[in-house]
Amino acid sequence: MNLILLGAPGAGKGTQAEKICEKLSIPAISTGNILREAIANGTEMGLKAKSFIDAGKLVPDEVVIGIINERLNKDDCRNGFILDGFPRTIPQAEALDEMGVQIDRVIDIEVPDEKIASRLSGRRVCLKCGATYHTEFKAPVTEGICDVCGEKLVQRKDDMPETVLDRLNTYHEQTEPLKDYYEKKGILHIVEGQEKVEDTTALTFKALED
Ligand code: ADP
Ligand code: ZN
């Protein structure tokens, strides 16, 4: 199954992508994680992307389209994949269509704007393995340490309150129109984000079936 997860920053796309990945044994592909990895490794692409990400802006379409094109051509995507954080603009969605990528379902996780700020301010990430946590809703076993790989958790610069509003505006202006785009194709499924991760996961799994 070829899936797209849509939703505002902090809606919980990444967490649900991990759950689907475990359930269906298909890779979860996060453009945000790929970009952060590139920044950590100091690659040319990372250098290019950093200023956009830190400012809460989108990285230029051609950069992320290139990343996705390369990633989807790898063998592990043959039985399906989950796109987390791509597409984020109409031109990115059109690029997927032009690549001949057939999408089966788009799951849109809806969380009201008022709840986004607290979700993002509590978010902690592992820069080594990409795992994400929340100080309140999804705490690691040991405070400040990644359950998966033992690395120290950090707060992303773009999760600081001064950048969050910009990211939300960007989401509403550039990403939300994708709901219409996929609704028209008849493949959009809406999931209301819940307080508890497992409740959202139950709704997400249901959206994979009906
Ligand atoms: P979140 O969904 O929580 O905002 P991501 O990790 O998906 O976080 O993305 C972080 C940042 O990486 C975005 O704010 C943006 O700058 C950049 N980015 C990720 N995916 C894309 C994309 N498809 N197009 C443009 N920029 C992207
Ligand atoms: Zn880790």
Cβ of 96 less than 6 Å from ligand 1: no
Cβ of 86 less than 6 Å from ligand 1: yes
DSSP element (H, E) containing 101: none
Cβ of 130 less than 6 Å from ligand 1: no
Q: What is the pTM of this model?
A: 0.91
Could you give the CA distance from residue 95 to residue 43 in angstroms, rounded to a whole number?
24
Q: Are 65 and 92 in contact (CB under 8 A)?
A: yes
Residues 42-80 have pLDDT tens digits of 999 999 999 999 988 999 999 999 999 999 999 999 999
Which residue's C-alpha comes closest to atom 3 of ligand 1? 9
Give the atom of ligand 1 at the shortest distance from the alpha carbon of 60.
25
Could you give the CA distance from residue 190 to residue 201 in angstroms, rounded to a whole number?
13
> Strand 123-125 and strand 132-134: pairing?
antiparallel
Could you give the CA distance from residue 158 to residue 164 in angstroms, rounded to a whole number?
7
Residues 91-122 have pLDDT tens digits of 999 999 999 999 999 999 999 998 998 889 89
| Cβ within 8 Å of residue 162, ≥6 positions away | none
Q: What is the DSSP letter of 154?
A: B
Which ligand is located closest to the Cα atom of residue 95? Answer: 1
* pLDDT for res 161: 87
Domains along the chain? 2-26+79-112+174-209 (3.40.50.300)
Which ligand is located closest to the Cα atom of residue 164? Answer: 1
> 34 CA to middle of ligand 2, Å?
14
Residues in the chain, overall count:
210
Residues 144-171 have pLDDT tens digits of 999 999 999 999 989 998 899 999 999 9
3 state SS of 12: coil
> 30 CA to middle of ligand 1, Å?
8
Q: Which of 52, 13, 23 is nearest to 130 (CA)?
A: 13
